[in-house]
Structure 1
Amino acid sequence: MITKKIHVQGMANQNDTEMVHHALHEVWGVREVDVSLSRGEAVVTYDEKAATMADFQQAVIDQGFEIYTEDGTTEEKKV
């Protein structure tokens, strides 16, 4: 098991945090998800053999939010 943090930009209310939580929990291999509106982040504990950070990043982007990668850049879903 491994735990990683994803910085999420654009969450404005509890509904947004629930959307992010649900999306991350749907990724195969996830054991635990904690989403914080006040910190603007999600902490994910998962089986690194079943999922990657890219899977979590895509799940968040698919919900319409921006994420910050570890190098501080943003990634946004291209339409």
Structure 2
Amino acid sequence: MRKLASGTWKLEGVKTQEDADKVLQALNSVWGVRKAEVNVNSGEMVVSFDEKAATHDDFAQAVIDTGYKVGGSKDEGL
């Protein structure tokens, strides 16, 4: 079983649960993303992913394609 990487990133523009659901759907459609959570209150997303199948750029682009922005990582090295 492959080891999963995990990171927490700020989201910009996610204000409602509907926004969060759109982002979550986009994240879950990215190959290699194993688990994703979006918190409207904190404005953050937590993504667990297979580093051999997905990168930050892959799921950041998925978020951008839904009309939102990804801010900086709270985790060093990601």
Q: TM-score, normalised by structure 1?
A: 0.84
Consecutive unaligned residues of structure 2, counting only runs of 5 or more, are 74-78
Percent same amino acid at aligned positions? 43
Identify which of structures 1 and 2 has the higher relative contact order when contacts are C-alpha pairs closer than 8 Å and 6+ apart.
2
CA-to-aligned-CA distance 1:19-62 (integer Å, 9 cap, x gap) = 00000000001111110000101100010000000001101111
| Correspondences of 1:1-79 after superposition (within 5 Å) | 1-70=4-73
Q: 1:5, CA displacement in angstroms?
A: 1.4
Q: CA RMSD in A?
A: 1.4
SS in 1 for 2:67: coil
Consecutive unaligned residues of structure 1, counting only runs of 5 or more, are 71-79
Partner Cα separation in structure 2 for residue 26 and residue 14 of structure 1: 18
SS in 2 for 1:20: helix
Q: TM-score, normalised by structure 2?
A: 0.85
Q: Give the aligned length.
A: 71
Task: Determine if contact 1:6/1:57 at 8 Å carries over to the other structure.
Answer: no
Q: 1:69, CA displacement in angstroms?
A: 2.9
